[in-house]
Structure 1
């Protein structure tokens, strides 16, 4: 179990919002406990893998508990997550702005009003993104003293959360346990990163123009998204019946979903789930919403073709997004294309489904839901 660094610098405490009292239509998500994973038998892991596979095929999201961080450690990480926003001046932020459209990478700041949402409204979201190897690039002065803790958090997320998830996903495909782990090397060339994300309340006019949507429905481009649960209700998933359901906050739990790259690799067994962020319920609208993420992205050179050796895929068939395996992009190619385009390209309204906009990326139709 990780421990806090004993020389942790003093930083302001971020006070989270109270949990909403409103009765929301929550998604019924499975809970996967990885606490005893390392000491479990293969039979126990296979059984847990079947639960994970069912959760991914029915809901697309699931919770993880038993991840080894205490409540106090998580509170400390949320305090750290707020530092790039509350302790760095707007002038200094400009020195560390990412250039996602030009580079296909989010490392650094994504400042407010970069993404177009709807009705001429732009986002009110700030990101600060840090490669899991935290010294890959420079950081604002206020962030530097807490870099050792961020590095420790990235390593914990990779080895104690992502590792068992990838092993269970591989077992769910009836493949050797380390199959997916081997293409997510800690020391490999990868854009896997920590994201601190802060949503700010919007004015009434923008809420009306965008119909309360803060981030339109989308899929993530990577393999696995790890979201440390926080209390402001705003995240929703698109269910199989076409309705949107809220994700409920569970104290000190993690919310996990698959992205495009995992859908490609798994031949559709682990689909990338559509999710969006909307205006919080009325009793939380005056609060900022601070997010803490670990975005897992396969090694840059990995070809995003289905894992055809999977006995499960051989029996059930492969849902292909590319006609031929050789047409599949590498992880690096897909990451750069999706990152460059998101919120910056002109979208086309779908002729088949109302409320859906589309763009073509690397030969794949990418949908955005409003």
Structure 2
């Protein structure tokens, strides 16, 4: 991260941690500082493999940024929302449905949640190459920090995790890394997000669900933990459980593309966002994410040379000949999300078909 004198911006004060007793998921905590040597990575890969297969989420600690640097990122994350006018936001809104890209703003009420209720969150998305698009005035002095943060996420967090995931499948360490070039053509991006409180009427109509249960469409999602409790994961026993906030920790999960590449060994994990507990209602919820995808031209077929897959079999979501590229998959998922009429299946599950593959939403 840049260490020179930084531009002055207002401090974002997050909500106090909840004091309510919630049913938290028991997630593994992975110490990334213990992944320096081949022996350490071999040992850590077992922990990551088991965490990914049991819960699909895990924490990362000791990743290399200090709490002060972490706080600075959340100060930056609030800038595109609190310090950009609505008029300027509209000027930088992404043409999401037409382009299949999130670059720019997703404005509030773009997605349909349920029962005629639309979302109350906005986010701003920047490709890891921050020069690809123009940005609002308030963000321009901060672009060197954002680019450095993207590079940090990619090279110091994503690549080490990809090595551990590859070792968990008994693949060469760089099997997944080689498909995630930092300078290659692709849409891996930084997302800053802000949720706003909703009306009681909206909460009632959606049964307090802010974002339906879904899977991410990339390979690995890096979420920088923040204190407002709202994220829940669908546990193996079928119950939704809360994700606990840990200061200066990362929350990691796999998406569709990793499920494709791993032949179903690492499943895309189902999660949702709900109304926060009573003592945190009324606060905004600012998030900082790094959504990783392979290079655009990578065909999402399983690494069939994995000895693990050769022993246990491959679970394909489509035939290899029909598998989409990363670009096709992310464009299809991005364009359709929150914009299509979903087909209701069993037990509150809703479905749509993207590139010939069934995509499920959990209501």
Q: Same fold (TM over 0.5)?
A: yes
Q: Is the 8 A contact 1:113 1:122 kept in 2?
A: yes
For 2:33, what is the secondary structure of its paired residue?
coil
1:214 lines up with 2:210 in the alignment: yes
Counterpart check, 1:368 vs 2:361: yes
Q: Which residue of 2 aligns with 1:156?
A: 152
**Counterparts of 1:88 and 1:334 in 2: how far apart (Å)?**
32
Gaps of 5+ in 1: none
- What is the match of residue 339 of structure 1? 334
Deviation at 1:69, TM superposition (A): 0.4
8 Å contact kept, 2:100–2:335: yes
Q: Secondary structure at the match of 2:131?
A: helix
In the alignment, is the contact (CA less than 8 A) between 2:34 and 2:40 conserved in 1?
no
Deviation of 1:364 (Å):
1.1
Could you give the per-residue CA deviations for residues 16-69 of structure 1, whole angstroms, max 9, x where no partner exists?
A: 00000000000000011111323x2x2321121111010011000000011100
Aligned match of 1:11? 9
**Contact persistence 2:221–2:291 (CA under 8 A):** yes
Q: Which residue of 1 aligns with 2:21?
A: 23
TM-score by length of 1: 0.97
Task: Return the offset for 1:240.
Answer: 1.2
- Give the whole-Å Cα distance in 2 for the aligned partners of 1:311 and 1:44: 21
Give the 5 Å matches for 1:241-320: 241-320=237-316
Alpha-carbon separation, structure 1, partners of 2:3 and 2:109:
36
Q: Secondary structure of 1:142's partner?
A: helix
Q: 2:92 aligns with which of 92, 96, 116?
A: 96
Distance 2:288 2:137 in 1: 20
Q: Find the aligned partners of 1:328 and 1:49 in 2 and give their Cα distance.
A: 27
Deviations 1:92-137 (CA, angstroms, capped at 9, x unpaired): 1111000110000000000000000011100000000000011110
CA–CA separation in structure 2 for the residues paired with 1:77 and 1:288: 16
Contact 1:5 1:149 in 2 (8 A): no
1:234 maps to which residue? 230
Shift, 1:5, TM fit: 3.1
Rounded Cα–Cα distance in structure 1 between residues aligned with 2:122 and 2:160 = 30
**Partner-residue secondary structure (3-state), 2:217:** coil
Q: Give the C-alpha shift of residue 290 in structure 1.
A: 0.3
- State the aligned residue count: 363
Q: Which residue of 1 aligns with 2:320?
A: 325
Is 1:53 matched up with 2:49? Answer: yes
State the Cα deviation string for residues 112-164 of structure 1 (Å, max 9, x = none). 00000011100000000000011110000000000000011001111110010
SS in 1 for 2:352: strand
1:354 CA displacement? 1.3
C-alpha distance in structure 1 between counterparts of 2:42 and 2:65, whole Å: 25
1-side partners of 2:177 and 2:72: how far apart? Answer: 28
Q: Deviations over 1:181-207 (max 9, x none)?
A: 000000100100000000000010000
Structure 1 segment 83-122 matched on structure 2, within 5 A: 83-122=79-118
**Matched residue SS, 1:5:** coil
Q: Which ranges of structure 2 fall in alignment gaps of 5 or more residues?
A: none
TM-score, normalised by the number of residues in structure 2:
0.99
The Cα shift of 1:307 comes to 0.5
